[in-house]
Amino acid sequence: MASSRPPKYLLVFDFDETIINENSDDSIVRAAPGQALPEHIRQSFREGFYNEYMQRVLAYMGDQGVKMGDFKAVYENIPLSPGMPDLFQFLSKNHELFEIILISDANMFGIECKLRAAGFYSLFRKIFSNPSSFDKRGYFTLGPYHSHKCLDCPANMCKRKILTEYLAERAQEEVEFERVFYVGDGANDFCPSVTLTSADVAFPRKGYPMHQMTQEMEKKQPGTFQATVVPWESATEVARYLQELLKKKC
């Protein structure tokens, strides 16, 4: 009989350089003529306004005749990060224990393409990412996810706001998690991980900004970062940690 009990754990994933081994915004340039962007577009990037920059990149690619199928082919072929298939297979076997969500500053179309191609789309209860679609001309368009007041995050997305609101929404639905696990790599993954409690676990990708920022915080303000920090090079290490945790609970 199917279990009617709510999942015990919330598992939050980032997408770029976490689930996949590249930044998907950089990857799609492979569909551009000569697999490169003109200098004037590359020079237009401003720190904290990456979403706006990508809107210009996509408009240029549309002008060059790049179509939905071209983008789809690139997304589907982006390699997964080391060990990620092992982690997803482990989660598939234990799906009743984990509620899995994805919070990413990439875009909905690209994420869905990759997860469906990899066979893991159905694992995710919810995906939070920038809205994207193809307009009447066939141009790939991108919007901001939301607006927020966080000074540490890009103008279009604060992952802390998304995670906090999600937990509050689930609590109203009488779903409270014993623990939250957060798997990420970037500076924008550090922001939500600061809200994790001592019961929770942050899995920063080793040597990436999220990992460096947790180390810096621990040096400057010991004990401020409350979650257990488990750095990973292969997602197999994340699977192993979760497996050990489940054994202890049995």
The response to whether 86 counts as a known ligand-binding position is no
159 with 182: CB under 8 angstroms?
no
How many Cβ atoms sit within 10 Å of the Cβ of residue 183? 26
CA distance 94 to 113: 24
The response to whether 189 counts as a known ligand-binding position is no
Q: List active site positions.
A: 14, 16
The response to whether 26 counts as a known ligand-binding position is no
- The residue among 230, 152, 224, 125 whose CA lies nearest residue 184 is 230
Q: Which residue is listed with tokens 């590359």?
A: 42
The response to whether 16 counts as a known ligand-binding position is yes
The response to whether 70 counts as a known ligand-binding position is no
- DSSP at 248: H
CA distance 129 to 9: 22
**Angle between the 108-118 and 68-77 helix axes, to the nearest 10 degrees?**
50
Q: Please state the residue numbers annotated as binding site for Mg(2+).
A: 14, 16, 185
Q: Please state the residue numbers annotated as binding site for substrate.
A: 25, 105
